[in-house]
């Protein structure tokens, strides 16, 4: 048979057209069918897709296609996270409008994604920068505003004085703006916030229900939310030492049990008490300034030295009016957490210990670790932070840490200071409200108006969307909306007086916090179509990068709840989770190459000589040796990039997809290698050959099922059914590398049966070929479709159900079980699957190697695990 090579690039285009024309992957609004919502994190339209996208979308597509074949009504949409800074940077650098730039990128990337052959429902495509999308977001904002979930407050921000913009914490590097390099200032600005803290408890509690999320992500979110149970404790101040009018200081503590170990109080440099005290003390003022400057810089973290300044103010211990403690301003106390003030117990907290040693403050052990003697127990420079028995603590002595907490807490609650209870139990969170104001152009306008008479007034809903002006300028730093000559001028929706629009736009994380909801009804006139949302949500499988473990996923979880509380969404289940299963895939990595001049080189710019240890890289243009560097995440800066377009044009999309799924477990990093891709390419041809051989040898489409099968045919059928079963399970569990191995194994089994003939074999071979095509279908859909046609079927494989396996073929009559003597494998035993324990035991003891290994010792015990193993103990 003159086999022709499978021409991937040619056939792939063909099948993509067929799928497209047949609208095969359009999700159906038939809510009687069980649904499956498969979603990959939508991309930012940066210009071109990269290998990370290929991996992410290949995985999602395998899952989506598999679920379709399993009979689910699959929603598998795609869109664009299209607002953001890069578009504005492009506008500044290249004098192109952010919208023009963004939509051109979207066109390019849509084309690239289509060339991957993804089973996407493109009729649901959304771009967050389109007014069709953001007008709904503005409506949601207005509803959040009504419910006080959106609000304005003054807060400290990182201000870049060159770019005239607020920077997120992660955009501040070593105290400087990531773009301008200017020293970042702390400014007090009025900003818009979402009250995510109102949901802190629920967001934390419901993490427990997310059993199909990686443990790691749940842990990261739990840490981020950072719940702690403690107390607010008010300390009286010695008025002789305190600034006028200040009579008390409130601290937050999680350890009221250690109050008798207290040796100082400390407040943040920005604490009102520090500011008041600094007014009369120039040296203190200078110290506070210094602390502020060191704020976020790395130098500060490296120094990590606890430093403080004694304000001279004295506080009175809540349990002993005669006991006074110094109040310090300390650099390690954060104004943003708790009350911005602490009490220090050096024996029970390492930071306090460091501080006490530096400033020579008393260290009184109050907790005795188990196994220590109270008389001899001392602490050097290491605090004891665990539980134990209370000592040196008067009425708490002898109690456990927990009991002491309760005893101290209830006494503080009963005690009064200045007419109010001195202590109050308080749950505190690390999580802060989400600041969404950005002084940028390319984002969703916040739909409010500032009126001199009425204040902040929401825009009327009939006036939505508030669209971005087309004619903004990007030639200088600062907010193009704020300096636009006319855009912001309007009238007050309430009183009609002249007013100005809000010129802040929303953080782009807002856009991506509800896109998965919009996909369920992307053309709905309201932001959410409740019926569609209730059917499709939650997302059954969400796939994306671990880099979004905290922010995007937490914001989305918050939004699902906020949309539910504003009546947009109803959840069928009792938790309001948007993503019931999450999978975080690893990165795509590649070797790096450097020229002799120290420049990074593209993989395409080098060729190789030798192999193994003798493998060398040569720079093609100069012919000079190049250095082979470490394997790193593909990045523009290190130039270790492979362009998906090149790979698809050369090998085909199926090849790129197959390689991405092979070998490396999907949650781990994968190393992109030329040899690996070539191997995937060879496998494609191998599958094609196997299918062609069978199609030619057995051209009949519907063979009658033989009455019985000979040994050879039976073994082919067993391999086919077993493999189909395994591949299905592997895909279901997102273990694509194992699914690939299952397919390889099946091909090897088919190859071994090559050349066998007979009517039973013909039936088995055709069945095997159809199964093979089915199982590669989700992973290499074009090749599978071509093979399906080659086998003579005139249906589309994409519409074919996943065949049912015959359970009888999954089990063998004979099983091979290992036989161990004292835990060491000595032989194998082939025996009937239904053999009972006695038969297995007897057969095992007859084995020559077993007798030899026993060396004449009597058999003490025989452990038989049916169908698995026998262990003879002697």
Applying the rule CB under 7 A, the residues between 517 and 556 that interact with RNA are 546, 550
- Minimum distance, C-beta of residue 828 to RNA, in the bound complex (Å): 5
Q: Rounded distance, CA 232 to CA 341, Å?
A: 10
State the minimum distance, in angstroms, from the CB of residue 66 to RNA.
18
Binding to RNA (CB under 7 A) within 281-300 occurs at 300
- Comparing CA positions, the residue from 704, 693, 713 lying closest to residue 790 is 693
| CA–CA distance, 872 with 874 (Å, rounded to integer) | 6
One residue of 381, 410, 748, 757 binding RNA per CB under 7 A = 748
Examine residue 151 and tell whether it contacts RNA (CB under 7 A): no
Task: Give the whole-angstrom CA distance, residue 594 versus residue 629.
Answer: 7
* Contacts for 208 with CB less than 8 Å, ≥ 6 apart: none
Output 33 or 863, the one with its CB closest to RNA.
863
The helix/strand/coil state of 285 is helix
Token digits for 333? Answer: 């106390």
Closer CB to RNA, 268 or 543, in the complex: 268
User: What residues numbered 560-579 form the site for RNA, per CB under 7 A?
Assistant: none
Kindly state whether residue 268 participates in binding RNA, applying the rule CB under 7 A: yes
Which residue's CB is nearer to RNA, number 418 or number 613? 613
Q: Which is nearer to RNA, 459 or 554 (CB)?
A: 554
Residue with Cβ nearer RNA (482 or 749): 749
- Specify the stretch interacting with RNA by CB under 7 A; choose among 69-77, 150-158, 247-255, 699-707: 247-255
- Pairwise CA distance, residues 700 & 681, whole Å: 29
Residue 782 CB neighbour total at 10 angstroms: 26
- Contacts to RNA from residues 224-243, by CB under 7 A: 224, 226, 228, 230
Distance separating alpha carbons of residues 770 and 703, to the nearest angstrom: 13
Residue of 745, 800, 812, 841 that binds RNA (CB under 7 A): 745
Residues in region 592-611 near RNA by CB under 7 A: 611
**Subset of 106-135 contacting RNA (CB under 7 A):** none
* In contact, 252 and 268? CB cutoff 8 Å: no
Q: At 488, phi and psi to the nearest 5? A: -80, -15
Q: Which is nearer to RNA, 2 or 301 (CB)?
A: 301
Residues 67/36, Cβ–Cβ less than 8 Å: yes
Q: Which letter, b or e, does each residue of 100-121 get, where b requires 16 or more Cβ atoms within 10 Å of its Cβ?
A: ebbbebbeebbebbbbbbbbbb
Nearer to RNA, 422 or 428 (CB): 428
Binding test (CB under 7 A) with RNA, winner from 13, 156, 616, 744? 744
Task: Specify the residue, 216 or 489, whose C-beta has the smaller distance to RNA.
Answer: 216
Question: Could you give the C-alpha distances from 457 to 140, 469, 506, 536, in angstroms and in order?
Answer: 15, 21, 17, 35
* CB-based contacts of 320, cutoff 8 Å, min separation 6: none
Cβ distance to RNA smaller for residue 215 or 373: 215
User: Tokens representing 527?
Assistant: 């932001």
On whether the CB atoms of residues 631 and 638 are closer than 8 A, the answer is: no
With vertex at residue 41, the alpha carbon angle to CA 40 and CA 45, rounded to the nearest 5 degrees, is 120
Closer residue to RNA, CB minimum distance, 122 or 337: 337
Residue 852 Cβ vs RNA, minimum distance, rounded to whole Å = 6
Please give the helix or strand (H or E) that residue 310 lies within, else none. strand 308-317
List the interface residues with RNA, window 64-83 (CB under 7 A).
Answer: none
Minimum distance, C-beta of residue 526 to RNA, in the bound complex (Å) = 36
The residue among 190, 187, 207 whose CA lies nearest residue 199 is 207
In the complex, the smallest distance separating the C-beta of residue 677 from RNA, rounded to whole angstroms, is: 10
| Of residues 113 and 776, the one with the C-beta less far from RNA | 776
Distance CA 122, CA 486 (A): 37
Q: Least distance from C-beta 873 to RNA, angstroms?
A: 5
Taking each continuous run of H as one helix and of E as one strand, the counts in the chain are 26, 39
Q: What token pair was written down for 648?
A: 């698809």
Of the chain, the end-to-end C-alpha distance in Å amounts to: 60
| Tokens encoding 319 | 């349990």
Binder among 375, 380, 462, 868 for RNA (CB under 7 A): 868
| 166 class by beta-carbon count within 10 Å (0-12 exposed, 13-18 middle, 19+ buried) | buried
List the interface residues with RNA, window 175-234 (CB under 7 A). 215-216, 219-220, 223-224, 226, 228, 230
Tell me whether residue 98 or residue 348 sits nearer to RNA (CB atom). 348
State in angstroms the smallest separation of the CB of 351 from RNA.
5
**Left, alpha or beta for 456 (phi > 0: left; psi -120 to 50: alpha)?**
beta
Residue 320 CB, shortest distance to RNA, in Å, is 19
Q: Both tokens of residue 625?
A: 């040796």
The token pair that represents 252 in the structure block:
């937050």
**Which one among 253, 401, 512, 513 touches RNA, defined by CB under 7 A?**
253
Question: Is 301 a binder of RNA (CB under 7 A)?
Answer: yes
Both tokens of residue 776?
């590669």
Q: Smallest distance, Å, CB 306 to RNA?
A: 6
SS (H, E, C) 322-339: EEEEEEEEECCCCCCCCC
Closest distance of CB 804 from RNA, Å: 24
How far apart are the C-alpha atoms of 80 and 120, rounded to whole Å?
14
Number of residues near RNA (by CB under 7 A): 86
Q: Which is nearer to RNA, 63 or 659 (CB)?
A: 659
Nearer residue to RNA within complex by CB, 333 or 560: 333
x/- map, 376-415, RNA, by CB under 7 A:
----------------------------------------
Ranges within 651-680 binding RNA (CB under 7 A): 662-665, 668-671, 673, 675-676, 678-679
Nearer to RNA, 69 or 265 (CB): 265
CA-to-CA distance for 588 and 556, rounded, in angstroms? 26
- Report if residue 304 touches RNA, rule: CB under 7 A: yes
> Which residue's CB is nearer to RNA, number 283 or number 868?
868
* Minimal distance, residue 255 CB to RNA, in Å: 5
Count CA atoms within 13 Å of residue 185 on its CB side. 10
Q: Exactly one of 395, 496, 849, 857 binds RNA (CB under 7 A); which one?
A: 849
Fill in the per-residue mask, 677 to 696: x = in contact with RNA (CB under 7 A), - = not in contact. Answer: -xx--xx-xx--x-------
Minimum CB distance to RNA smaller for 343 or for 487: 343
Nearest partner of 299 among 177, 178, 173, judged by Cα: 173
Dist CA 694 CA 680 (whole Å): 21
857 binds RNA per the rule CB under 7 A: no
Quick one: CA dihedral 679, 685, 689, 692, positive or negative?
Answer: positive
Bridge partners of residue 445, in order along the sequence: 505
Out of 261, 737, 784, 789, the residue judged to bind RNA by CB under 7 A = 737
Nearer to RNA, 566 or 664 (CB): 664
Cα separation, 270 vs 334, in Å, equals: 8
Binders in 788-827 for RNA, by CB under 7 A: 816-818, 820, 822-826
Which of 628, 741, 805, 831 is close enough to bind RNA by CB under 7 A? 741
Q: Does residue number 490 form part of the binding site for RNA (CB under 7 A)?
A: no
Which region among 531-539, 572-580, 617-625, 865-873 touches RNA (by CB under 7 A)? 865-873
- Which residues, 717 to 736, sit near RNA by CB under 7 A? 735
711 near RNA, rule: CB under 7 A: no
Q: Identify the DSSP state of 600.
A: E
Which of the residues 306 through 365 are near RNA (CB under 7 A)?
306, 331-338, 340, 342-343, 349-351
Q: Is 150 left (phi over 0), alpha (psi -120 to 50) or beta?
A: beta
Q: Which of 96, 198, 845, 873 binds RNA (CB under 7 A)?
A: 873
């Amino acid at each position: 048979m003159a086999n022709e090579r499978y021409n991937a690039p040619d056939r792939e285009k063909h099948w993509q057209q067929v799928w497209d024309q047949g609208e095969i992957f359009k999700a159906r609004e038939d809510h009687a069918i069980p649904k499956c919502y498969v979603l990959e994190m939508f991309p930012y339209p940066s210009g071109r897709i990269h290998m990370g996208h290929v991996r992410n979308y290949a995985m999602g597509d395998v899952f989506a296609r598999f679920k379709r074949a399993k009979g689910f009504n699959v929603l598998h949409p795609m869109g664009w996270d299209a607002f953001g800074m890069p578009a504005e940077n492009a506008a500044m650098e290249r004098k192109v409008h952010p919208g023009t730039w963004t939509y051109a990128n979207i066109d390019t990337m849509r084309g690239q994604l289509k060339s991957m052959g993804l089973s996407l429902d493109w009729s649901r495509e959304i771009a967050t920068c389109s007014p069709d999308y953001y007008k709904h977001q503005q409506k949601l904002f207005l509803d959040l505003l009504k419910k006080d979930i959106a609000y304005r407050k003054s807060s400290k921000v990182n201000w870049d004085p060159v770019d005239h913009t607020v920077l997120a914490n992660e955009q501040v590097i070593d105290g400087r703006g990531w773009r301008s390099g200017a020293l970042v200032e702390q400014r007090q600005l009025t900003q818009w916030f979402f009250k995510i803290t109102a949901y802190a408890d629920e967001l934390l509690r419901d993490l427990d229900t997310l059993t199909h999320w990686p443990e790691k992500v749940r842990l990261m979110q739990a840490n981020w939310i950072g719940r702690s149970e403690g107390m607010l404790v008010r300390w009286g101040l010695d008025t002789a030492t305190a600034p006028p009018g200040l009579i008390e200081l409130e601290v937050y503590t999680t350890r009221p049990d250690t109050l008798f170990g207290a040796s100082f109080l400390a407040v943040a440099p920005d604490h009102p008490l520090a500011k008041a005290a600094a007014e009369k003390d120039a040296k203190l003022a200078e110290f506070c300034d210094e602390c502020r400057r060191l704020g976020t810089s790395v130098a500060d973290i490296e120094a990590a030295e606890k430093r403080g300044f004694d304000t001279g103010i004295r506080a009175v211990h809540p349990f002993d009016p005669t006991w006074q403690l110094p109040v310090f301003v300390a650099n390690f106390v954060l104004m943003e957490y708790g009350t911005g003030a602490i009490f220090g117990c050096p024996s029970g907290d390492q930071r306090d210990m460091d501080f006490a040693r530096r400033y020579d403050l008393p260290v009184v052990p109050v907790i005795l670790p188990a196994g220590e003697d109270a008389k001899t127990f001392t602490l050097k420079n290491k605090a004891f932070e665990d539980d134990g028995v209370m000592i040196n603590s008067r009425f708490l002595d002898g109690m456990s840490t927990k009991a002491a907490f309760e005893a101290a807490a209830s006494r503080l609650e009963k005690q009064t200071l200045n007419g109010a209870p001195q202590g109050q139990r308080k749950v505190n969170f690390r999580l802060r409200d989400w600041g969404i104001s950005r002084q940028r152009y390319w984002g969703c306008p916040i739909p409010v108006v500032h009126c001199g008479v009425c204040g902040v007034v929401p825009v009327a809903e009939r006036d939505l969307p508030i669209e971005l002006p087309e004619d903004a300028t990007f030639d200088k730093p600062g907010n193009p909306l704020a300096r636009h000559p006319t855009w912001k001028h309007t009238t007050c929706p309430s009183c009609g007086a002249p007013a100005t629009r809000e010129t802040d736009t929303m953080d782009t994380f807002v856009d991506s916090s509800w896109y998965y909801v919009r996909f369920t009804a992307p053309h709905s006139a309201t932001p959410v179509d409740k019926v569609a949302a209730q059917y499709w949500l939650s997302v059954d499988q969400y796939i994306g990068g671990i880099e979004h473990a905290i922010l995007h996923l937490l914001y989305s979880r918050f939004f699902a709840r906020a949309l539910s509380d504003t009546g947009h969404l109803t959840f069928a289940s009792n938790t309001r989770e948007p993503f019931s299963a999450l999978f975080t895939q690893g990165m795509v990595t590649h070797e790096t190459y450097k020229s002799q001049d120290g420049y990074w080189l593209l993989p395409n710019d080098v060729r190789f000589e030798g192999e193994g240890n003798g493998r060398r890289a040569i720079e093609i243009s100069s012919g000079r040796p190049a250095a082979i560097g470490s394997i790193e995440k593909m990045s523009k800066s290190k130039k270790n990039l492979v362009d998906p377009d090149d790979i698809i044009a050369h090998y085909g999309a199926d090849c790129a997809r197959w390689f991405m799924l092979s070998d490396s477990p999907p949650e781990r990093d994968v190393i992109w290698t030329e040899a690996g891709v070539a191997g995937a390419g060879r496998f494609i041809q191998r599958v094609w050959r196997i299918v062609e051989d069978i199609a030619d040898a057995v051209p009949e489409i519907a063979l009658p099922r033989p009455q019985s099968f000979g040994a050879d045919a039976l073994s082919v059928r067993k391999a086919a059914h077993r493999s189909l079963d395994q591949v299905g399970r592997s895909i279901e569990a997102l273990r694509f590398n194992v699914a690939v191995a299952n397919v390889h194994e099946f091909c090897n089994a088919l190859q071994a049966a090559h050349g066998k003939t007979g009517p039973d074999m013909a039936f088995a071979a055709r069945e095997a070929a159809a199964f093979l095509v089915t199982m590669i279908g989700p992973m290499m859909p074009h090749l599978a479709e071509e093979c399906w046609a080659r086998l003579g079927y005139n249906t589309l494989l994409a519409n074919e159900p996943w065949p049912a396996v015959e359970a009888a073929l999954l089990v063998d009559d004979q099983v091979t079980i290992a036989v161990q003597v004292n835990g060491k494998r000595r032989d194998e035993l082939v025996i009937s699957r239904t053999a009972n324990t006695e038969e297995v035991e007897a057969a095992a003891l007859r084995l020559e190697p077993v007798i030899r290994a026993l060396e004449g010792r009597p058999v003490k015990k025989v452990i038989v695990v049916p169908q698995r193993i026998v262990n003879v103990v002697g």
